[in-house]
């Protein structure tokens, strides 16, 4: 994949914005694991919308690689050991979500706010699905704490899904306004 300087700059910018979003958080202490509600999701949404599936995904992957390399950019730190944390699955969910938001946006070419909400919602469902499955597997197979999938969904998804959906609507509004500006920069990451 050949990347222009503009594309590389925007990809790095969105990786940095996701880092900032990790520190804009509310900690939710729960019995099995402290959940962090952050603004990372908002910037992942914008990366998918504004940069498209390839560069949006690259920005999220860049963020994750930086964190796994040991830079404390995740909501609870960083380092390779983070992959064994139950919440790491939600970070992986960001990768798939950014890709699908870009892909679905390319397919439906949204114009109205409601059309932007469609890819955002698909991304949200993907993000939570990957996160919940990973959480369940790490808790049961690695940590050795038996937890049902229903408990994972109720305690680690239902609590934050409404605020995250509100972020979907807000990001859809931002994307609707910002996408024409991004296109004027030279079709960076998005279909014409």
> What is the pLDDT confidence band of residue 1, given thresholds at 50, 70 and 90?
low
% of the chain beyond a pLDDT of 70: 91
Structure tokens at 169: 């609507």
> What is the pLDDT confidence band of residue 185, given thresholds at 50, 70 and 90?
confident
* Beta strand ranges found along the chain (DSSP E): 25-28, 35-38
pLDDT per position as a tens digit, 83-112: 999 989 999 999 999 999 999 999 999 999
CA distances from 120 to 16, 42, 72, 75, 96 (A): 21, 10, 27, 22, 12
pLDDT per position as a tens digit, 127-180: 999 999 999 999 999 988 889 999 889 888 888 899 899 999 999 999 999 988
Q: Where is pLDDT greater, at 24 or 69?
A: 69
pLDDT given for residue 183 in this prediction: 80
pLDDT per position as a tens digit, 73-84: 998 889 999 999
pLDDT given for residue 127 in this prediction: 96
The answer to whether 138 touches 82, Cβ cutoff 8 Å, is no
> What is the pLDDT confidence band of residue 14, given thresholds at 50, 70 and 90?
very high
> What is the pLDDT confidence band of residue 191, given thresholds at 50, 70 and 90?
very low
**What is the rounded average pLDDT of the residues 44-61?**
96
**What is the rounded average pLDDT of the residues 9-32?**
85
**The pTM is what?**
0.90
**What is the rounded average pLDDT of the residues 62-80?**
94
SS3 44: helix
Of 179, 173, 92, 97, the closest CA to residue 131 belongs to 92
């Amino acid at each position: 994949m050949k990347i222009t300087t503009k594309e590389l700059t925007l990809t790095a910018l969105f990786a940095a914005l996701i880092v900032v979003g990790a520190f804009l958080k509310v900690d939710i202490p729960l019995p099995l694991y402290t959940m962090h509600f952050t603004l990372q999701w908002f910037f992942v949404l914008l990366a998918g919308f504004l940069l498209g599936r390839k560069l949006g995904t690259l920005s999220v992957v860049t963020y994750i690689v930086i964190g796994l390399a040991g830079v404390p950019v995740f909501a609870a730190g960083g380092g390779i050991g983070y992959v064994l944390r139950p919440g790491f699955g939600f970070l992986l969910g960001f990768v798939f979500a950014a890709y699908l938001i870009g892909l679905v946006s390319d397919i439906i070419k949204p114009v109205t706010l409601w059309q932007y909400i469609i890819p955002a919602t698909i991304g949200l469902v993907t993000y939570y699905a990957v996160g919940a499955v990973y959480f369940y597997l790490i808790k049961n197979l690695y940590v050795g704490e038996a937890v049902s999938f229903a408990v994972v969904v109720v305690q680690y998804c239902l609590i934050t899904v409404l605020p995250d959906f509100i972020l979907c609507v807000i990001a859809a509004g931002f994307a609707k306004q910002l996408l024409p500006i991004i296109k004027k920069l030279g079709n960076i990451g998005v279909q014409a």
